[in-house]
Amino acid sequence: MRTHQTIKFIGFLIGIVSILKGENISKNTKKSHLRWPQELPWAIRRVMLKSNLTTVPRMWDYNDQRPQCEGYISADSSWGWGNQISELFSVFGYAIMYDMKNIMLKAEVRDRFGKVFPAMKAIPAYDELPCKIDNYVEVPLKKGLKFNHTLNLVSKQFAHDNRIGFTFRKEILQLFDFAENIKEVIRNTKARIKATQRQRMGLKTALPITLVGIQCRRTDYINHIVFFGGLSVTEYYYYKAMDIMRTKFGPNIAFVIASDDLLWIREKFGHYSQDVYFAVDYYQDVGGESFVFDFALLASLDHIIISPGTFSSNAGYFIDGDVIFPDCRFQGRLHATMGTQIFHLSHNWHSLTDPSFVSIPNLTYAA
Burial class (CB in 10 A: 0-12, 13-18, 19+), 326: buried
pLDDT, position 14: 55
pLDDT at 6: 57
Shared domain check, 190 and 151: no
136 and 230 both lie in a single domain? no
Average pLDDT estimate for 333-349: 56
Residue 220 shares a structural domain with residue 292: yes
Confidence band, pLDDT 50/70/90 cuts, at residue 212: very high
Picking from 81, 63, 87, the residue whose alpha carbon sits closest to that of residue 138 is 87
Mean pLDDT of 4-9: 55
Give the full edge-to-edge strand order of the sheet including 230-231.
230-231, 328-330, 333-335
Mean pLDDT along residues 266-276 = 92
pLDDT at residue 279, as a whole number: 96
> Is the confidence at residue 31, as pLDDT, over 50?
no
Q: Which of 142, 175, 208 is the last residue of a domain?
A: 175
pLDDT number for residue 207: 85
Whether residue 87 lies inside any domain: the answer is: yes
Structural domain containing residue 157: 32-175
Q: Where are the beta strands (DSSP E) in 268-347?
A: 276-278, 303-305, 323-326, 328-330, 333-335
117 has pLDDT over 60: yes
Average pLDDT over residues 298-326: 92
pLDDT of residue 358: 62
| pLDDT for 355 | 84
Contact 293, 283 (CB under 8 A): yes
Q: What local confidence, expressed as pLDDT, does residue 205 receive?
A: 78
Model confidence, pTM: 0.77
Q: Which residue has the higher pLDDT, 15 or 237?
A: 237
From 175, 210, 235, the end of a domain falls on 175
Highest mean pLDDT, choosing among 80-84, 203-207, 331-335: 80-84
pLDDT band at 164 (very low <50, low <70, confident <90, very high): confident
Q: 113, 146, 175: which is the final residue of a domain? A: 175
Residue-averaged pLDDT of the chain: 77
Instruction: Give the mean pLDDT of 92-114.
Output: 88
27 assigned to some structural domain: no
Cis peptide before 41 (omega within 30 of 0): no
- 163 and 189 inside one domain: no
Which residues touch 119 (CB under 8 Å, ≥6 apart)?
Answer: 45, 46, 48, 49, 174, 175, 176, 177
User: How does residue 41 score in pLDDT terms, banded at 50, 70 and 90?
Assistant: very low
Say if 8 falls within a structural domain.
Answer: no
Q: What digits encode the pLDDT tens for the residues 223-255?
A: 777 777 677 789 999 999 999 999 999 999 999
Using CA atoms, how far apart are residues 295 and 316, in angstroms rounded to an integer? Answer: 10
Q: What are the phi and psi torsion angles at 28 (to 5°)?
A: -65, -40
Q: How many domains does the chain have?
A: 2
Q: Which residue has the higher pLDDT, 126 or 307?
A: 307
- Give the model's confidence band at 68: pLDDT under 50 very low, under 70 low, under 90 confident, else very high: confident
Share of the chain above pLDDT 90, in %: 32
DSSP lists the bridge partners of residue 74 as 154
* pLDDT on residue 4: 56
pLDDT at 47: 42
Specify whether 142 is located in the same domain as 194: no
